[in-house]
Amino acid sequence: MAEPCSLYLTEMITQIRRKKLSPLNLMESVLKRIDSLDPLIQAWVTIDRKAIQEEAARHADEISRGKMRGPLHGIPIGVKDIFYTAGMKTTAGSKVMENFIPPFDSTAVHRLKKAGAIVLGKTATTEFAHADPAPTRNPWNLDHTPGGSSSGSAAAVATCMCPAALGSQTGGSVLRPAAYCGVVGLKPTYGRISRHGVFPFSWTLDHVGFFTRSVADAAILLGVLAGHDPQDLSTAQEPVPDYNRSGKLARKPLRIGVVRAFYQQNSEEQVWSHTEKIMAKLEKAGARILEVKMPPSFAAVQDAHRIIMRAEGAAFHEKLFEKNLAKYRPKLRDLIETGLLIPGVDYLRAQKIKRLFRRHMEAVMKNYDCLLTPATSSPAPPGLSSTGNPWFQVPWSLSGLPTINLPSGMSQEGLPLGIQLIGTAFGEGKLLTVARWCEKVLQVSCSPRVGLSPINKQGY
């Protein structure tokens, strides 16, 4: 029988419901996995063993009495260390907050707990989710970055230290580490999941997202996390559908729009040729692959994003920075200092471009079931001083459209590659349906043998 920690989230749920797996055994299995791998990977910053073992025992006891709190009863989930967790340190990967213990749970954590999940611990993040790296290493090659800012969450899920973990994305902080580590990463529509109780980076760009090892697992987690929150004004009133139902696609054949502009010219050769092979495979399986003509506003999205992120990041940190200058690391310090120089009129112009681009994309998306790009311009780069470049994800963080990374194969160096699928605003149901179909066609399941060669390398 497979080690409980290596089961998919959906399998864990089924086995717990059928009483074939106890939350206590599952917790023991993931802790054993963490003990053996985390000294190398460094995905975790806080784990309160006694508390979570007691919590797992409580969950096991409840099952024996016929009580299930919700769909995630007894499932251990990792939480990026920028989400408030009541009574548990939340450092945001920074010396500035090294002793901060929040008095309440972020809404996302509250919803996980309400659904029966156990917060396994806090995962490593870059400083305040910006660019100063966490110590986490890429499980496929320890000398490469796992990506960031949600570095620990992606690496922990990739190595089965937990079946799912929360992350966040302002530029490319979910999709990029997901691609570099070979896992599914979902960034839903802006406003789909509450950001209440999450350290902000840039209020109008921040998205809560998460990592799993399959699309079906992502659908379960989204169902738990999505929905309006009166404590977060940016959350939408849009109804939350049942994402677990594999919806039927209204249009057959499936129409996938490929974004060549910008993506082809900025991809490493092996990345673009891999993406073309993926397109051919999807086409052979019945999809129509069509080239997308991007709107003129696409040319300004990277610059608009840079201005908004710097200005809002600086606005959030200004007072903290004044008091704690010496504790800030160089990349965030640079962002704050330059962000403080941005004139208000220019910031508002960037916000106008953001709105225009979203409107343009709404029109473009009417012709497709989803768009497709390579998730990243290269496989995970060597070195730990940078977490890679977010530019392939930036347009979708700016537009707020939902995106998902699907592992799609391996690079020449034996590192994972991924494709990024982009859906319509609040069209996560359809996006997940398309992603499920692609996942089935591509049949790629990545699983690193930490620090060594991969177990089941499936290149194209």
Partner 1 sequence: MSAEINEEKYFKMLRESAVQRYGEERTKIIEPSIRDLARSLAVISEYPLAMEEEPDFYG
Is position 318 an interface residue for partner 1 (rule: CB under 8 A)?
no
Is position 385 an interface residue for partner 1 (rule: CB under 8 A)?
no
CB contact set of 220 (below 8 Å; sequence gap of 6+): 9, 10, 13, 71, 72, 243, 244
Among 191, 388, 390, 407, binds partner 1 (CB under 8 A): 191
CA dihedral over 291, 296, 302, 308, signed as positive or negative: negative
Largest pairwise CA distance in the chain = 62
The tokens for 453 are 């060669």
Among 42, 297, 378, 433, binds partner 1 (CB under 8 A): 297
Among 111, 274, 306, 436, binds partner 1 (CB under 8 A): 306
Active site residue 64: no
Is position 300 an interface residue for partner 1 (rule: CB under 8 A)?
yes
CB contact set of 11 (below 8 Å; sequence gap of 6+): none
Out of 80, 122, 187, 430, the active site residue is 80
Instruction: Spell out the alpha helix ranges (H) of 366-456.
Output: 394-399, 428-442
Q: Which of residues 396-425 bind partner 1 (CB under 8 A)?
A: 400
Nearest-CA neighbor of 211 among 148, 274, 272, 263? 148
Among 286, 346, 385, 453, binds partner 1 (CB under 8 A): 346
Q: Which stretch binds partner 1 (CB under 8 A): 57-65, 86-94, 346-354, 404-412?
A: 346-354
Is position 228 an interface residue for partner 1 (rule: CB under 8 A)?
no
**By C-beta, is 89 or 331 nearer to partner 1?**
331
The tokens for 41 are 């990977």
Active site residue 168: no
Closest CB 295 distance from partner 1, rounded Å: 12
Closest CB 348 distance from partner 1, rounded Å: 5
Is position 329 an interface residue for partner 1 (rule: CB under 8 A)?
no
Is position 363 an interface residue for partner 1 (rule: CB under 8 A)?
no
Closest CB 61 distance from partner 1, rounded Å: 43
Q: How many residues bind partner 1 (CB under 8 A)?
A: 34
Closest CB 385 distance from partner 1, rounded Å: 16
The tokens for 238 are 């849009």
Is position 204 an interface residue for partner 1 (rule: CB under 8 A)?
yes
Nearest-CA neighbor of 80 among 109, 51, 54, 50? 109
Q: Which residues pair with 289 in a beta bridge?
A: 256
Mutual angle of helices 269-284 and 428-442, in 10-degree steps:
90
Closest CB 343 distance from partner 1, rounded Å: 8
Among 109, 184, 353, 394, binds partner 1 (CB under 8 A): 353
Closest CB 373 distance from partner 1, rounded Å: 21
**By C-beta, is 53 or 389 nearer to partner 1?**
389
Closest CB 305 distance from partner 1, rounded Å: 9
* Four-point Cα dihedral 346, 351, 352, 355, nearest 10: 170
Q: Which stretch binds partner 1 (CB under 8 A): 37-45, 208-216, 255-263, 352-360?
A: 352-360
Active site residue 149: yes
Among 327, 340, 360, 451, binds partner 1 (CB under 8 A): 340
Among 131, 225, 350, 410, binds partner 1 (CB under 8 A): 350
Nearest-CA neighbor of 423 among 361, 359, 375, 370? 370
Q: Looking at 295-356, which runs of residues are DSSP E strands? A: none
Q: Which stretch binds partner 1 (CB under 8 A): 96-104, 110-118, 120-128, 340-348?
A: 340-348
Closest CB 297 distance from partner 1, rounded Å: 8
Contact 186, 209 (CB under 8 A): yes
Among 119, 256, 304, 401, binds partner 1 (CB under 8 A): 304
Is position 254 an interface residue for partner 1 (rule: CB under 8 A)?
no
Spatial distance between the Cα atoms of 210 and 80, rounded to a whole number of angstroms: 9
For 35-70, the DSSP string reads: HHHHHHH--EEE--HHHHHHHHHHHHHHHHTT---S
Is position 198 an interface residue for partner 1 (rule: CB under 8 A)?
no
Instruction: Spell out the alpha helix ranges (H) of 66-196.
Output: 107-114, 151-158, 175-181
For 364-383, the DSSP string reads: HHTT-SEEEEESSSSSSPBS
Is position 41 an interface residue for partner 1 (rule: CB under 8 A)?
no
When computed from its CA atoms, the radius of gyration of the chain, rounded to whole angstroms, is: 21
Spatial distance between the Cα atoms of 9 and 291, rounded to a whole number of angstroms: 35
Contact 160, 127 (CB under 8 A): no
Binding site for partner 1 (CB under 8 A): 190-191, 203-204, 233-234, 297, 299-300, 302-304, 306-307, 310, 334-335, 337-338, 340-342, 346, 348-356, 358, 400
Catalytic residue numbers read 80, 149, 173
